[in-house]
């Protein structure tokens, strides 16, 4: 008996006739007539005439095996249609490439077009890492009717507090990124041949444009718009989360140098104000940016154990199976928060984030100590910051992904331009969970400089391992919209936000905070002068001073989880001792 010809089988037959696979290429029309190129993967087996669809919109080539091809096959094998789309002006899509600007409307149009196709049952989910996470939120802000579920991995969105400037400090990584996306197709061969160790020392930063030779305005936007102006503000949705009613699985890594801040920004705002606040879940592991999608057990020279290598594809599938197929697979009963706890190397679950239920303030003393009491004796500490000899991040820009930078900071902390403050040996575990901050009272003999802060865990053998970090351009101390120069020699208050973290400082360890003025080449070097950084080329050496006395005593604010009865006991060897 011949099976009836359903709309789905017609599409499947067309796909097989074109490629001999359940995959075909098509143009998706946008509201202004531009067509975006898409690859459609149809499921290998299906009951009924249509299925839910998963959409991924990317600037990194819809035919990329890593980000799109493998995803397409995975969802094919699990009963979904999968649609990979080149963003406007990239890959095979029409139009002009202007990063971020067209993504809200374009991704909305893609979602609604997919929902109308005869092989789709009208249920559309979105997925993707980084930029592919950002486009999901861009679309969600426009409230597409058929967007039914999201998996957002390390998504950008907290513009100018996150990227491309982090509280006024330029992420020089964006020169590499602008080179990657400068044409419709990434010239990976030339990308790998560039001597980035030399290129990233180019001054002024404007001159990098000659090396990148980009198409369109993206590089100028990224390097030239160094304040939170109207361009960046319109890309933020701080006032629209109460209108986004979509269940979302938020995923990121504690050591994501790019979009950890954006991921938490989206999650925290959805929990605060979204109508679907009860349908948000958060997973955070000991991962870098890319490893948040492809987890393994190692990061930055540290082995976090087998459990760190979460099967992320299965996590995504469970989420979509529940929200798009209505399966009672336990997702609704899952804890809202699942976070990996460095220090004990175990997974923790909770109903809310952060886990801190108290706080602790530690004062920076002139003797280099962290103290529970404000220093009674006036004091200060100074260092000489020379942009020609910056503190090094420790990444190899010639290899990608290059974010697995060393966590151990011992060598950098031995430099004379890195000041350290260290607490006493702990007599009990201390769990820091949330957003820490350093309230810095300081001065410089220049009109501007940068503050780079790291919170580290000092092990009994002397190793100092990074827990989290933060940075602030001195001129942006009061406003990201209207920076103001320093008056040389005048003391200012600098509130340095540290990135969200959850970490156990174990008994016998010590808490340390360090302050310096560079973290190169992940961040561009401050040349210690006020004004737009893109045109600066004259290097000035700064003497920067931290005050450690009385009302001007710099202090570290830590969100702390109090010990609870029945806490799990973890073997010291498994905890990385």
Contacts of 385 (CB under 8 A, 6+ apart): 417, 449, 516, 517, 518, 526, 528, 541, 542, 543, 544
- What tokens were used for 237? 């949705």
Dihedral of alpha carbons 458, 463, 465, 470, sign? positive
Report d(CA 240, CA 453) in Å as an integer: 32
CB 97 within 8 A of CB 89: yes
DSSP 8-state code for residue 426: P
Of how many residues is the chain composed? 577
Task: Give φ, ψ of 152 to 5 degrees.
Answer: -105, 115
Q: Are strands 248-253 and 147-153 parallel, antiparallel or unpaired?
A: parallel
Tokens 């809202």 locate to: 336
Tokens 């930055």 locate to: 300
pLDDT score recorded for residue 197: 86
- What tokens were used for 122? 């009208």
List the Cα angle 238/133/253 in 5-degree steps. Answer: 95
pLDDT score recorded for residue 336: 97
CB 527 within 8 A of CB 400: no
CB 52 within 8 A of CB 120: yes
Report d(CA 37, CA 84) in Å as an integer: 8
| Number of continuous H segments (helices) and E segments (strands) in the chain | 13, 27
Tokens 């599409």 locate to: 11
Q: How far is CA 296 from CA 285, 305, 538, in A?
A: 10, 9, 43
Report d(CA 464, CA 368) in Å as an integer: 15
291 Cα distance to chain centroid: 11
3-state secondary structure 364-380: ECCCCEEECCCCCCCCE
Report d(CA 233, CA 100) in Å as an integer: 12
- What tokens were used for 354? 């952060």
Where b means 16+ CB within 10 Å and e means fewer, 262-279 reads: bbbbbbbbbbeebeeeeb
Report d(CA 270, CA 243) in Å as an integer: 10
Report d(CA 107, CA 124) in Å as an integer: 12
Contacts of 442 (CB under 8 A, 6+ apart): 451, 491, 492, 494, 544, 545, 546, 547, 554
Q: Which of 55, 236, 247, 48 is nearest to 141 (CA)?
A: 236
Q: Are strands 450-458 and 370-371 parallel, antiparallel or unpaired?
A: unpaired
Domains of the chain: 1-125 (3.40.50.1820), 358-562 (2.60.120.260)
DSSP 8-state code for residue 523: B
Report d(CA 175, CA 202) in Å as an integer: 11
- The interaxial angle of helices 103-116 and 131-140, nearest 10 deg, is 80
List the Cα angle 252/256/258 in 5-degree steps. Answer: 105
Report d(CA 245, CA 149) in Å as an integer: 9
| Partner residues linked to 262 by β-bridges | none
pLDDT averages per 10-residue partition of the chain, 577 residues: 48 51 93 97 82 97 88 95 98 97 98 97 97 98 98 96 97 92 83 84 95 93 96 95 98 96 98 97 97 94 95 98 97 97 97 96 96 91 98 80 86 98 98 98 98 98 98 98 98 98 98 98 97 96 94 94 60 37
pLDDT score recorded for residue 549: 87
pLDDT score recorded for residue 11: 52
Report d(CA 375, CA 368) in Å as an integer: 11
Report d(CA 449, CA 486) in Å as an integer: 9
Cα-Cα-Cα-Cα dihedral of 415, 418, 419, 420, to 10°? -80
């Amino acid at each position: 008996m011949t099976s009836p010809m359903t709309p789905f089988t017609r599409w499947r037959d067309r796909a097989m006739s074109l490629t001999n696979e359940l995959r075909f290429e098509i143009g998706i029309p946008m509201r202004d007539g531009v067509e975006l190129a898409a690859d459609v993967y149809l499921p290998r087996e299906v009951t009924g005439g249509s299925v839910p669809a998963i959409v991924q919109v990317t600037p990194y080539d819809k035919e990329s095996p890593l980000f799109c091809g493998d995803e397409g096959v995975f969802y094919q094998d699990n009963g979904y249609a999968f649609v990979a789309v080149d963003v406007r002006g990239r890959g095979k899509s029409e139009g002009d490439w202007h990063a971020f600007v067209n993504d809200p409307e374009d991704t909305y149009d893609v979602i609604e077009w997919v929902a109308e196709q005869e092989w789709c049952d009208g249920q559309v989910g979105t997925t993707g890492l980084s930029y592919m996470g950002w486009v999901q939120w861009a679309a969600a802000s426009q409230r597409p009717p058929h967007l039914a579920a999201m998996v957002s991995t390390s998504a950008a969105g907290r513009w100018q507090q996150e990227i491309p400037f982090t509280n006024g400090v330029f992420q020089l990584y964006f020169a590499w990124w602008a080179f990657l996306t400068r044409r419709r197709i990434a010239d990976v061969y030339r990308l790998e041949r560039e001597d980035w160790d030399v290129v990233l020392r180019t001054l002024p930063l404007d001159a990098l444009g000659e090396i990148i030779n980009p198409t369109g305005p993206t590089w100028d936007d990224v390097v030239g718009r160094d304040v939170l102006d109207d361009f960046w503000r319109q890309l933020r949705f701080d006032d629209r989360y109460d209108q986004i009613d979509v269940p979302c699985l938020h995923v990121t890594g504690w050591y994501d140098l790019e979009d950890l801040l954006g991921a938490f920004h989206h999650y925290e705002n959805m929990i605060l104000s979204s109508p679907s606040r009860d349908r948000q879940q958060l997973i955070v592991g000991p991962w870098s940016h890319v490893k948040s999608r492809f987890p393994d057990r190692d990061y930055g020279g540290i082995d976090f154990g087998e459990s760190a290598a979460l099967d992320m594809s299965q996590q995504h599938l469970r989420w979509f199976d529940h929200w798009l197929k209505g399966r009672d697979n336990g997702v609704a009963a899952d804890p809202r928060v699942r976070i990996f706890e460095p220090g004990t190397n175990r997974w923790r679950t909770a109903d809310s984030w952060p886990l801190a239920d108290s706080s602790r303030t530690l004062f920076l003393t002139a003797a280099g100590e962290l103290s529970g009491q404000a220093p009674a004796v006036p004091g200060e500490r100074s260092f000489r910051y020379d942009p020609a000899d910056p503190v090094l991040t420790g990444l190899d820009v010639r290899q990608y992904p290059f974010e697995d930078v060393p966590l151990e900071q011992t060598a950098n902390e031995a430099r004379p331009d890195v000041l350290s403050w260290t607490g006493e040996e702990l007599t009990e575990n201390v769990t820091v969970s949330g957003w820490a901050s350093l309230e810095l009272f300081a001065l410089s003999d220049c009109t501007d400089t940068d503050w780079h802060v790291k919170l580290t865990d000092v092990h009994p053998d002397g190793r100092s391992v990074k827990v989290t970090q933060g940075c602030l351009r001195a001129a942006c101390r009061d406003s990201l919209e209207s920076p103001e120069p320093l008056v040389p020699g005048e003391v200012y208050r600098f509130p340095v936000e540290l990135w969200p973290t959850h970490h156990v400082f174990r008994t016998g360890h010590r808490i340390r905070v360090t302050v310096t003025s560079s973290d190169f080449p992940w961040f561009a070097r401050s040349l210690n002068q006020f004004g737009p950084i893109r045109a600066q080329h004259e290097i000035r050496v700064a003497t920067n001073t931290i005050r450690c006395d009385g009302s001007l005593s710099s202090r570290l604010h830590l969100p702390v989880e109090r010990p609870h009865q029945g806490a799990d006991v973890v073997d010291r060897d498994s905890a990385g001792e």
